Structure 1
């Protein structure tokens, strides 16, 4: 029998199996925010030895912590640091973090991403072609495979045949049901990326992200090999899991709400707003850790050095103090300063690519199979007791269409 909202709020554990019910989790967040901007959990977040931590659940608290890197460091606790393969940009603080980003930022610039638009649209069409003539298909296949294919083929420089394995390893590493399963998946992903980096280093120069990392210099020194592998792992995780989860939610929502689906077709000018709203509402990431470096007060709570804080993006993005009708998905929401891509110096490096993949995925599905609805002979599968959350299957039916040109 599921525990009560109050009990979950008091003893919060994101990996609790009750949270396969997405609505229950957000109800629990409501209870947590009503009591305070912060809750405390004894449950470790990503590593088994990390101990308990504070959980920031209000928008104001989360935004303040994300923007204050001097008091809330991205450097992990000593226990967490032991799990990391080298210097990773997401776990660094300025000034080294800014130097790292300076190397990577040009590769994710708006201009460079826009150049990929024809390729992303084409790759999406190829995936839709696999089932469009049958009148039935699984839109989660588009949501999960499109970002991986685009990222591996046009950004990272890895074979697209590696995408299914890396999706499986990343998903298990973040969301596996046991610590042993998660650790084994981390190890498998590290070994696979190590082999890929070695192959790149021994091959001819290429215009891809792994070569950028291999040739990058910070303060006059090239990155250590383990730093290259560690950052390649980060890019794989970010490039696969988060966008796929958010897109899978959007497809499920539109299949379940045909009036909203039809509105997006009828009013394509609101698509940019809809993409931002899906990112806010879907909550594909439910936390990122920070370590307190000095005494500091946020929303009336005093933190002490050495304490850990989980910044809960998903709870912040449903905070009614920031978002009117926060519990509703409002496709044309104009004021939407969501934290889906974070904030401050660690704001998501690949947000331009994620938005583009997301928008083109929605546009092509709506254009080519405009009357899709949830299938009645199969159920969508949601994976929810995890750090990242989304639909693993979204079976739909529709009027059969034609293959792309």
Structure 2
């Protein structure tokens, strides 16, 4: 039984409301929002500190146009939101500085780098599965939440994988904690931990990883301030851990509860790339990215004023029936799928190649090594939904025991 009606929530969206631990109910609210208006207003913005609240873009067409139009809808935060951020972050920059920053990081997400990483990601995934595969039961959320962190820390950041559980916990609390005090304390803890780790790296030999690049690169002839290095490391950790893990957890839960679809992917592995794209569309692990209006602009009959905060709701856009036929069904062989799971425009996700690779290998290895997995009868899956990112924290499964990989 929910506390508010769909219409009440649609009139003033607050993603942290307890009602939204019910994922189906949230998408019912989004349906009302898309039906009623392209832009809803909220007094409880979940990604903006603007006193006047924020506009929420509900439909695919408007979300896509905003993401493409960085000149009117800037990634620079509002003054109030700037006070909560640390450093000159690539996600809060616009061209040309944003393009210079991305150029520095792009090689670490290139197709060639992904090809080299493929066997390593497979090995890391197998090690996680080895923890329980011979028992015939385990928690697939542990694979979803640990694999991206291990890959990121070990092969891109050059930081100890022993740091992964702490950084994952801090990142998750910073985004999804129950109170603002808890979220801010977690951000502070993550900043302090990475500050100390990166400080230690300044006296160590070069490792040709992203930390070295951030420490040594020059943009416009100047090295980055140390606070900017730590801030961007925080951003990359958050993006590299939370979003991929959430999306992968949805896929594992879906396949554990839809045996026919699980078996279909096993019998037709060529469908897996399309299935990954559909999981990214359907799962909605990200529910809002903020933009700040820089000058008067009209879009779909609505006039935005300078300083307005706009939340681009990827998840709602990805369930828009005008773009995706039968949008509330997970159709694993969906052919036309220009989802916004990685955004669009100049700020399209820098790590999309890595996220896709981690996601696909994670699903491949689980299907290969425990092909009859299904939800355990005596335990409940745990879903955390009333937040900006959403996913399963526990997915207990049982299956026919298998052999360890080594």
What SS does structure 1 have at the residue aligned with 2:339?
Answer: coil
Paired residues of 1:50 and 1:80 also in contact (CA < 8 A): no
Paired residues of 2:140 and 2:395 also in contact (CA < 8 A): yes
Paired residues of 2:284 and 2:390 also in contact (CA < 8 A): yes
Give the alignment of 1:2-401 within 5 angstroms.
2-46=3-47, 50-401=51-402
TM-score (structure 1 length as normaliser): 0.99
CA distance in 2, matches of 1:38, 1:48: 18
Q: CA offset at residue 156 of structure 1? A: 1.0
CA distance in 1, matches of 2:385, 2:153: 26
What SS does structure 1 have at the residue aligned with 2:278?
Answer: helix
Q: Unmatched 5+ residue regions in structure 1?
A: none
Quick one: structure 1 residues 49 and 304, their matched pair in 2 at CA, closer, same or farther if it must change by over 3 Å? closer
CA distance in 1, matches of 2:9, 2:198: 43
**Which deviations, in whole Å up to 9, do the C-alpha atoms of 1:209-260 show, x marking residues without a partner?**
1111001110111111111001000000000000000000000000000000
**Which deviations, in whole Å up to 9, do the C-alpha atoms of 1:52-96 show, x marking residues without a partner?**
100001000100000000000000001111111110000000000
CA distance in 2, matches of 1:390, 1:34: 26
What SS does structure 1 have at the residue aligned with 2:44?
Answer: coil
CA distance in 2, matches of 1:58, 1:305: 22
**Which deviations, in whole Å up to 9, do the C-alpha atoms of 1:114-153 show, x marking residues without a partner?**
1100000000000000000111000000000000000000
Paired residues of 1:59 and 1:319 also in contact (CA < 8 A): yes
CA distance in 2, matches of 1:108, 1:22: 32
Paired residues of 1:131 and 1:137 also in contact (CA < 8 A): yes
Q: CA offset at residue 302 of structure 1? A: 1.1
Paired residues of 1:381 and 1:393 also in contact (CA < 8 A): yes
Q: Unmatched 5+ residue regions in structure 2?
A: none
CA distance in 2, matches of 1:202, 1:50: 44
- What's the Cα RMSD here? 0.9
Paired residues of 1:43 and 1:51 also in contact (CA < 8 A): no
Q: Could you list the runs of 4 or more consecutive aligned residues of structure 1 that deviate by over 3 angstroms after TM superposition?
A: 46-51
Q: CA offset at residue 107 of structure 1? A: 1.1
Paired residues of 2:50 and 2:309 also in contact (CA < 8 A): no
CA distance in 2, matches of 1:177, 1:398: 34
Q: CA offset at residue 359 of structure 1? A: 0.3
Paired residues of 1:44 and 1:50 also in contact (CA < 8 A): no
Q: CA offset at residue 44 of structure 1? A: 2.7
CA distance in 2, matches of 1:317, 1:248: 18
Q: CA offset at residue 388 of structure 1? A: 0.3
Paired residues of 2:152 and 2:240 also in contact (CA < 8 A): yes
